[in-house]
Amino acid sequence: RQGYEDPHWQYPAASYGNDYTYQSHQWQPVAWQDNRDPRQGEHYGKSASYREQHYYRGYHPNLASKPPGQERTRTSDSHKERHNSAGRSEWAGGETLSQDSGEASGLPQEPSLLLQYHESGLSSSSYELSQYIRDGSDLYDPTLSGTWSPAQAGGPSVSPLAPVVPPKFWRPHVAVCFGAGGQLVLVCPHQPAEGQPAYVELHSLEARLHDTKELQELQAFPGPLAREDLHKVDVMTFCQQKIAMSCDLSTQKGRDSALLWKLLLLLCRQNGSMVGSDTAELLMQDCRHEERYRRQNPAANLIGLTDDELISRQPGTLDLITGEVPPVVETQEQIVEKFTKLLYYGRKKDALVWAMRNHLWGHALFLSSKMDPRTYSWVLTGFTSTLATNDPLQTLFQLMSGKIPQAALCCGDATWGDWRPHLAVMLSNKVGDVELNNRAIVTMGDTLAGKGAVEAAHFCYLMADIPFGYFGSKADRMALLGSSHRQTFAQFARTEAIQRMEIFEYCQRLQQPKSFLLPFQVVYKLLYASCLADHGLPSQALQYCEQIATVLLGQDPASHPVLAQQVIKLSERLKLSDPLLLEMPERDQTLEPDWLLQLRARCQERKVR
| 328 vs 337, more confident | 337
Q: How far apart are CA 452 and CA 206, in angstroms?
A: 36
Q: Which amino acid, residue 421?
A: P
pLDDT at 321: 56
What would the 3-class secondary structure string for 27-86 be?
CCCEECCCCCCCCCCCCCCCCCCHHHHHHHHHHCHHHCCCCHHHHHHHHHHHHHHHHHHH
Q: What is the mean pLDDT of residues 561-567?
A: 89
- How many CB atoms sit inside 10 A of residue 222's CB? 18
Query: Of the candidates 296, 325, 299, which has an alpha carbon nearest to the alpha carbon of residue 313?
Result: 325
- Which range of 65-79, 195-209, 327-341 scores highest in mean pLDDT? It is 195-209
- Between 93 and 165, the higher pLDDT residue: 165
Cβ proximity of 117 and 44 under 8 Å:
no
Q: How many CB atoms lie within 10 A of CB 565?
A: 14
User: What's the pLDDT band for 302 if we cut at 50, 70, 90?
Assistant: low
The pLDDT value recorded for residue 522 is 66
Arithmetic mean of pLDDT, 367-388? 89
Residue 193's pLDDT is what?
81
Query: Which band of pLDDT confidence, cut at 50, 70 and 90, is reported for residue 544?
Result: very high
User: Which residue would you say has higher pLDDT here, 421 or 24?
Assistant: 421
**Strand segments (E) across 336-445:** none
3-state secondary structure 175-207: EEEECCCCEEEEECCCCHHHCCCCCEEEEEHHH
Per-residue pLDDT reduced to its tens digit, 126-150: 444 444 444 444 444 444 444 455 4
Minimum mean pLDDT range among 173-182, 262-271, 357-366: 173-182
* Cβ-Cβ contacts under 8 Å for 453 (sequence gap 6 or more): 252, 253, 256, 412
Give the distance from CA 409 to its chain's centroid: 30
Q: How many CB atoms lie within 10 A of CB 395?
A: 25
> Using CB atoms within 10 A of its CB, is residue 47 exposed (0-12), middle (13-18) or buried (19+)?
buried
Q: Residue 545: which residues within 8 A CB-CB, separation 6 or more?
A: 526, 529, 567, 570, 571, 574
Q: Is the pLDDT of residue 163 over 80?
A: no
Burial of 574-585, coded b for 16+ CB within 10 Å and e otherwise, reads bbebbeebeeee
Q: Can you give the pLDDT at residue 607?
A: 81
Which range is least confidently modeled, 255-259, 309-313, 376-380, 390-394? 309-313
Residue 434 has pLDDT above 50, yes or no: yes
Confidence grade of residue 266 (pLDDT, cut at 50, 70, 90):
very high
Interior CA angle at 345 toward 340 and 349, to 5°? 75
- The pLDDT tens digits of the residues spanning 49-62 come to 444 444 444 444 44
**For position 122, what pLDDT does the model report?**
45
The number of helices, as runs of H, and strands, as runs of E, in the chain is 29, 5
Q: What is the pLDDT of residue 235?
A: 94
What is the predicted pLDDT for the residue at 70?
A: 47
Q: 310: pLDDT confidence band, cut at 50, 70 and 90? A: very low
Count of CB atoms situated within 10 Å of the CB of 554: 10
Percent of the chain with pLDDT over 70: 63
Residues 6+ apart with CB under 8 A from 271: 507, 510, 511
pLDDT, residue 297, reads 60
Kindly state the average pLDDT of the residues 410-436.
87
pLDDT over 60 (residue 553): yes
- What band does 192 get if pLDDT is binned at 50, 70 and 90? confident
Peptide bond into 224 cis (omega under 30): yes
Grade residue 327 by pLDDT with cuts at 50, 70 and 90: low
Looking at residue 38, its amino acid is P
What are the angstrom distances between the C-alpha of 351 and each of 324, 339, 363?
16, 5, 9
pLDDT confidence of residue 134: 45
For the ranges 238-242, 326-330, 466-470, 496-500, the lowest mean pLDDT is seen at: 326-330
Please choose, from the candidates 83, 50, 462, 531, the residue with its C-alpha nearest in 3D space to the C-alpha of residue 256.
462
Query: Residue 478: CB partners within 8 Å, gap ≥ 6?
Result: 457, 458, 461, 466, 468, 469, 485
- Round to whole Å and give the CA distance between 597 and 575: 12
Determine contact, residues 95/86, Cβ cutoff 8 Å.
no
Give the Cα separation of 599 and 547 in Å (integer): 12
Average pLDDT, the chain: 74
What is the helix (H) or strand (E) element at residue 305, kind and residue range? none
- Show contacts of 68-72: CB within 8 Å, 24+ apart: 68/5, 68/10, 68/32, 68/34, 72/2
The CA-to-CA distance between both ends of the chain, in Å, stands at: 78
Which has more confidence, 287 or 156? 287
Indicate whether 318 pLDDT > 90.
no
pLDDT confidence of residue 579: 75
For residue 84, pLDDT over 60 is answered with no
Least confident of 57-66, 182-191, 319-328: 57-66
